[in-house]
């Protein structure tokens, strides 16, 4: 006798306030069973997970009738608790039967701290530094890692194993900071407000995720002075800079581990008297040690070691503080869920102490509110840790919709995130369709597959047919429209706006095709970037769902400035869209009268009120 209206955590009649709540909130809960069910009593059962699973049972008070429904109410006082509360209900019938509902999730966060809002308002552009732009062909002589440099900017990155059977990623193209400086006007025209760099510190591999020296800009990128100049120039153009902090592991070839003896100072691999020896967990010194996912070239760090903590965030001149002072505005934490919570908190605290407007974004591939790593429920977005997360749930859900799924499934997935995340984390999410860790979004949408049913040589050589490319481009344009209209920072992986293709690493890390961009795509992204920069509703407005049926997705952003309606039809038939006011499509300039208007197949609108 219980139906969906008995309790809906997203219905204000059943739960107030909506979604996650700051500690100290008194949450009003109500059950609304049909009177014909014959229920006489209700009971709330709440588990406070991070308080040793404290269990609370509170009788619910009958408040009378609402139409044909009984109403049982109770108040759940969160007090000073921070963490997840799992709550459920028990209804008792006049005939002695019992019905259970739940469990439901309540996220309780520390709301005492102000989270800077700038990151979630504007567009972010992710740069893989070696492959974006070079100002010259560098000489790798004397650099760590035994590097080679491609003379031709358009060559294929090395992907085959070397003579030792390894793909060592020691081939570079020489992208540098001066090259980025040359293209700052391009980024500004695109609408970029945050430049997110993959790692920039000295490291032996071209991806630089095995850090060699946190204190030194990789010499192929330039100098610390070049970095400072780049940050200053970006700031003058209204852009901020985010760095990639890789603090869970380092390079086998690093000044700290020093596995090949490149650095003059003895590392943990040379001497147990090295100041860095305690940074690693050796099962047999020096050849057996913990490493990231078992990859020997990425020795894992012991994050509980006090000297390492002091070096990364504790000391006055620690790495986190030092590079913020040099001009960075934010940190993205690589594999944040593999860093201890108190380590992440230390980074967050150091960042805020150095710059009250600094932001910390964490790499998490799942719902960050429920993430469990190493048997521990993580505190990523409970306050004082990450200000926002990479929004893989957004990417996965939107990709599913674009590739044949239903709009209502995308809506359901996003409502789960909105309900589970504190408002600051919802608004400060890093939303994207592709990154350096995923196949190029254009290739996925055009081919409909990641190519893993073929060998690597096939994937390396593959280029889409004209029909595949056109389909992929059309779907990418629609996906980008949703991306830029949605709450959170729309993040573009370098070259997606130019039509870059490719499957997994390193094919998704080819060099930017300067002079060969797809102008149709580039114009579309530029228009979206302009919309994100100029329309307050897209920057700070609330989200209201419209039509989400099958292949049609519409939603409204409003609450700041004039409202904006996003409408996307990924179906093969026209769909009727309810246009609420005399409108103009931001993307094409087309004017629409209010009422039911047909949105053609595989097309989208970004509608703003038409000025009379």
What DSSP designation does 306 have?
A: H
* Structure confidence at residue 164 as a pLDDT band (50, 70, 90): confident
Tell me if the domain spanning 15-109 has CATH number 2.60.40.10.
Answer: yes
pLDDT digits (tens, 9 = 90+) for 217-227: 999 999 999 99
CB 295 within 8 A of CB 325: no
Count the Cβ atoms, other than its own, within 10 Å of residue 457: 10
- Tell me the fold of 537-609: Immunoglobulin-like (2.60.40)
CB 364 within 8 A of CB 417: no
Alpha-helical segments (H) within 374-448: 392-402, 407-420, 423-427, 441-447
- What's the CA gap between 342 and 539, in Å, rounded? 32
- What's the CA gap between 383 and 361, in Å, rounded? 12
Q: In the chain, how long is the greatest CA-to-CA distance? A: 85
Burial category of 86 from C-beta neighbours within 10 Å (exposed 0-12, middle 13-18, buried 19 and up): middle
pLDDT digits (tens, 9 = 90+) for 281-314: 999 999 999 999 999 999 999 999 999 999 999 9
pLDDT at 611: 83
pLDDT digits (tens, 9 = 90+) for 537-549: 999 999 999 999 9
> What average pLDDT does range 354-370 have in this prediction?
98
Pairing state of beta strands 288-289 and 282-284? antiparallel
pLDDT at 52: 84
* Average pLDDT taken over every residue of the chain: 97
pLDDT digits (tens, 9 = 90+) for 173-210: 999 999 999 999 999 999 999 999 999 999 999 999 99
Percentage of residues in the chain with pLDDT exceeding 90? 98
CB 595 within 8 A of CB 574: no
Q: Is the pLDDT of residue 1 over 80?
A: no
pLDDT at 612: 56
Q: Model-level pTM?
A: 0.97
pLDDT at 181: 98
* Structure confidence at residue 113 as a pLDDT band (50, 70, 90): confident
pLDDT at 548: 98
Q: Going by C-beta distance under 8 Å and a sequence separation of 6 or more, which residues neighbour residue 449?
A: none
pLDDT digits (tens, 9 = 90+) for 15-28: 999 999 999 999 99
Dihedral over alpha carbons 496, 497, 498, 502 (to 10 degrees)? 10
CB 454 within 8 A of CB 86: no
DSSP states of 104-151: EEEEEE---SPPP-HHHHSEEEEE-HHHH--SSPPP-TT-TT--EE-S
In this chain, the answer to whether the domains covering 15-109 and 537-609 adopt an identical fold is yes
Minimal CA–CA distance to 193: which of 439, 395, 489? 489
Taking the domains of the chain in order of start, what are their residue ranges? 15-109, 249-302, 537-609
* Structure confidence at residue 163 as a pLDDT band (50, 70, 90): confident
What DSSP designation does 541 have?
A: P
- Residue 585: strand pairing partners: 607
How distant, in Å, are the alpha carbons of 138, 462, 562 from that of 141? 9, 34, 57
Q: Going by C-beta distance under 8 Å and a sequence separation of 6 or more, which residues neighbour residue 452?
A: none
């Amino acid at each position: 006798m219980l139906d969906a209206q008995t309790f809906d955590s997203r219905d204000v009649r059943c739960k107030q306030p909506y979604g996650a709540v700051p500690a100290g909130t008194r949450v009003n809960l109500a059950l609304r069973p049909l009177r014909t069910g014959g229920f006489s009593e209700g009971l709330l059962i709440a588990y406070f997970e991070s308080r040793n699973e404290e269990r609370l049972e509170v009788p619910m008070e009958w408040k009378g009738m609402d139409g044909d429904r009984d109403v049982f109410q109770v108040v759940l006082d969160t007090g000073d608790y921070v963490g997840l509360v799992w709550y459920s209900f028990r209804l008792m019938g006049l005939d002695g039967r019992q019905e259970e509902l739940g469990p439901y999730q309540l996220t309780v966060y520390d709301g005492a701290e102000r989270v800077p809002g700038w990151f979630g308002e504007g567009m972010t552009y992710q740069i893989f530094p070696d492959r974006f732009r070079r100002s010259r062909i560098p000489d790798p002589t004397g650099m760590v890692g035994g590097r080679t440099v491609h003379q031709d900017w358009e060559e294929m990155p090395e992907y085959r194993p070397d003579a030792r059977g390894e793909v060592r990623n020691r081939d570079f193209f020489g992208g540098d900071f001066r090259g980025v400086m040359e293209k700052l006007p391009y980024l500004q025209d695109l609408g970029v407000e945050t430049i997110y760099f993959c790692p920039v510190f000295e490291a032996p591999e071209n991806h630089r995720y095995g850090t060699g020296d946190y204190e030194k800009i990789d010499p192929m990128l330039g100098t610390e002075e070049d970095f400072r100049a780049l940050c200053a120039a970006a700031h003058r153009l209204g852009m901020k800079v985010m760095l990639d902090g890789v603090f869970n592991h380092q390079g086998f070839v690093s000044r700290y581990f020093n596995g090949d003896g490149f650095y003059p100072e003895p590392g943990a691999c040379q001497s147990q008297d090295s100041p860095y020896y305690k940074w690693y967990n050796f099962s047999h010194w020096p050849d057996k040690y913990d490493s990231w996912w078992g990859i020997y070239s990425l020795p894992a760090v012991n994050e509980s070691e006090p000297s390492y903590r002091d070096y990364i965030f504790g000391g006055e001149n620690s790495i986190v503080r030092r590079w913020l002072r040099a001009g960075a505005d934010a940190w993205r934490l690589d594999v944040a869920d593999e860093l201890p919570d108190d380590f992440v908190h230390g980074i967050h605290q150091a960042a805020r102490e150095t710059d009250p407007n600094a932001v910390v974004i964490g790499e998490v591939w799942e719902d960050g509110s429920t993430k469990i790593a190493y048997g521990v429920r993580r505190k990523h977005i409970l306050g004082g840790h990450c200000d926002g997360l990479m929004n893989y749930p957004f990417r996965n859900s939107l990709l599913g919709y674009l590739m044949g799924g239903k709009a209502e499934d995308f809506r359901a997935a996003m409502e789960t995130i909105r309900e589970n995340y504190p408002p600051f984390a919802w608004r400060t999410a890093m939303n994207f369709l592709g990154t350096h860790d995923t196949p190029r979004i254009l290739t996925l949408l055009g081919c409909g597959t990641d190519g893993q049913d073929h060998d690597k040589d096939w994937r390396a050589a593959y280029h889409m047919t004209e029909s595949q490319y056109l389909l992929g481009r059309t779907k990418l344009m629609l996906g980008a429209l949703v991306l830029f209209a949605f709450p959170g920072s729309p993040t573009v992986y370098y070259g997606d706006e130019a039509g870059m293709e490719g499957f997994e690493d390193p094919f998704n890390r080819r060099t930017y095709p300067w002079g060969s961009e797809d102008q149709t795509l580039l114009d579309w992204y530029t228009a979206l970037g302009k919309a994100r920069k100029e329309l307050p509703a897209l920057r700070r407005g609330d989200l209201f769902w419209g039509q989400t049926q099958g292949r049609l997705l519409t939603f409204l952003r409003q609450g700041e400035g004039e409202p904006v309606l996003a409408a996307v039809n990924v179906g093969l038939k026209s769909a009727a869209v309810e246009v609420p006011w005399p409108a103009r499509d931001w993307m094409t300039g087309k004017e629409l009268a209010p009422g039911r208007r047909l949105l053609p197949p595989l097309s989208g609108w970004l509608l703003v009120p038409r000025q009379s």
